[in-house]
Amino acid sequence: MFESFYGFSRTPFSRDIPTDCLYDSLLMQEVVGRLEYVAQRQLFMVITGASGIGKTTVIRKFSDQLDSSAYKLLYLADSKLTPRHFYKGLLEQLGCESRFYRGDAKRQLHHQVELMRGLHHQRPIVVIDEAHLLDREMLEEVRFLLNFRMDAMSPMALILTGQTELWDRLQLQTYAAIRQRVDLQYRLAHFDQSQVTEYIQAHLTYAGTDHAVFTDAAIAEIHLFSSGAARLINKLCTICLMHGAQHGRRVIDDHMVKLVIQAELS
Ligand SMILES: Nc1ncnc2c1ncn2[C@@H]1O[C@H](COP(=O)(O)OP(=O)(O)O)[C@@H](O)[C@H]1O
Ligand SMILES: [Mg+2]
């Protein structure tokens, strides 16, 4: 394996990198800061960005540093989410078995939320990931969720994350009622070249090396190929490392990156 060849103690560019070892970019800090604000005030936020850009990772980071005595994060990422599964999923995470009918399950959820707030002084945060896949009926249900108010304050923070088309869809007239309720919208951008450099560095640091494995020119190629999207950077770097280890190259240059793209990724 390439890990021993490069003297890594952990595997870089992997999905399960702990949140305290992530590339902590200014953007990441900014969006986590907004999420904290949304949680405190129980607002509605929509986060969009291209596939593999780090949306779920941002939620993971936010979730890990959340004060669990004050907040309860309920997370759903199900492409086939129906209103019934939505309530069932949320109730399950609250340790309740949901009633069969949607109306009953909805009342049950409201009751649980009241208990959570009143009894446990915990504020719920509902995150729906991959929300660009939600159908019309589900988006309408989200609107109902926002309509439910116990007092002047919204009962929960609601965060939708999804690919860019989610925001495009919310622009349609049919979704005006939802769009108008969005308090904050954040669009995650692609990394530029210096951020790609820092990103790769963060993964190599996590792997336990201070050796600069990729040359500057190699990083420029990686940036070009990935357009600065984390998942593609991970994929390309991993194949480069496998290739590099096979061919005994301690340093990966732009020629090797081009070769790998041509041979395995184009
Ligand atoms: N800031 C970061 N530091 C380290 N790895 C990251 C970072 N952001 C994203 N990644 C990695 O990139 C990959 C894609 O990120 P992900 O959050 O799943 O993208 P999305 O949800 O936008 O499709 C994951 O393997 C993740 O671990
Ligand atoms: Mg995701």
Measured from the Cα of 24, ligand 1's closest atom is: 1
CATH 1.10.8 region(s) of the chain? 2-12+193-265
Per the structure block, which two tokens stand in for 126? 């509902």
The pLDDT of residue 69: 94
Shortest-distance ligand to the CA of residue 60: 1
pTM attached to this predicted model: 0.94
Q: What is the CA radius of gyration of the chain?
A: 21
Ligand 1 pocket check for 163: Cβ under 6 Å: no
C-alpha triplet 140, 30, 205: angle, nearest 5°: 120
Cβ–Cβ < 8 Å for 44, 146 = yes
- In this predicted model, what pLDDT tens digit does every residue of 38-89 receive, in sequence order? 999 999 999 999 999 999 999 999 999 999 999 999 999 987 888 888 999 9
Q: What are phi and psi of 67, to 5 degrees?
A: -75, 105
What pLDDT sits at residue 76?
Answer: 95
What's the mean pLDDT in 231-252?
98
Instruction: Look at ligand 1, atom 17, and give the residue with the nearest C-alpha.
Output: 54
pLDDT category of residue 154 using cuts at 50, 70 and 90:
confident
Tell me, what's the pLDDT at 220? 98
Class of domain 2-12+193-265: mainly alpha
Residue 149 has pLDDT above 70, yes or no: no
| Residue 234 beta carbon below 6 angstroms from any ligand 1 atom | yes
Minimum-distance ligand 1 atom for the alpha carbon of 22:
3
Pick the residue with more confidence: 62 or 117? 62
Q: Tell me what the mean pLDDT of segment 203-232 comes to.
A: 97
Predicted confidence (pLDDT) at residue 106 exceeds the cutoff of 80: yes
**Cβ atoms of residues 62 and 177 within 8 Å:** no
**Alpha-carbon dihedral angle through residues 129, 133, 138, 139, given to the nearest 10 degrees:** 80
Q: Give the pLDDT band of residue 98 (cuts 50, 70, 90).
A: confident
- Specify the residue with its C-alpha closest to ligand 1, atom 13: 231
> Percentage of the chain with pLDDT > 70?
98
pLDDT of residue 14 exceeding 90, the answer is: yes
For the chain, residues classed under CATH 3.40.50.300 are 26-187
Please report, for residues 68, 85, 120, 180, the alpha-carbon distance to residue 39 in angstroms, rounded to integers and kept in the order given: 12, 24, 16, 19
The stretch 178-199 carries a mean pLDDT of: 96
The arithmetic mean of pLDDT across residues 15-27, rounded, is: 95
**Domain 26-187: homologous superfamily in CATH:** P-loop containing nucleotide triphosphate hydrolases (3.40.50.300)
Rounded to 5, what percent of the chain is helix, strand, coil? Answer: 55, 10, 35
Those residues with Cβ within 8 angstroms of residue 41's Cβ, 6 or more apart along the chain or in another chain? 157, 183
pLDDT of residue 131: 95
- pLDDT score recorded for residue 151: 52
Q: Are 170 and 182 in contact (CB under 8 A)?
A: yes
Which ligand 1 atom lies nearest to the CA of residue 129? Answer: 21
Does the CB atom of residue 190 touch ligand 1 within 6 A?
no
- Ligand 1 atom closest to Cα of residue 51: 23
> Cα separation of 187 and 42, whole Å?
20
According to the model, what pLDDT value does residue 142 have? 85
Q: Ligand 1: does its nearest atom lie under 6 Å from the Cβ of 49? A: yes
From CA 105, how far away is CA 92, in angstroms rounded? 11
Separation between Cα atoms, residue 51 and residue 14, nearest integer Å: 16
Residues 25/53, Cβ–Cβ less than 8 Å: no
Q: Which contiguous run of DSSP H or E holds residue 185?
A: strand 184-187
Q: Do residues 134 and 153 lie in contact, with contact meaning Cβ atoms separated by under 8 Å?
A: no
Q: Out of 57, 60, 132, give the residue to mutate to test ligand 1, the one with the largest number of ligand atoms within 8 Å of its CB.
A: 57
Short-list 12, 20, 59, 21, CA closest to 186:
59
CA of 194 to the centre of ligand 2 (A): 23
Lowest mean pLDDT among 31-40, 137-146, 148-157, 250-259: 148-157
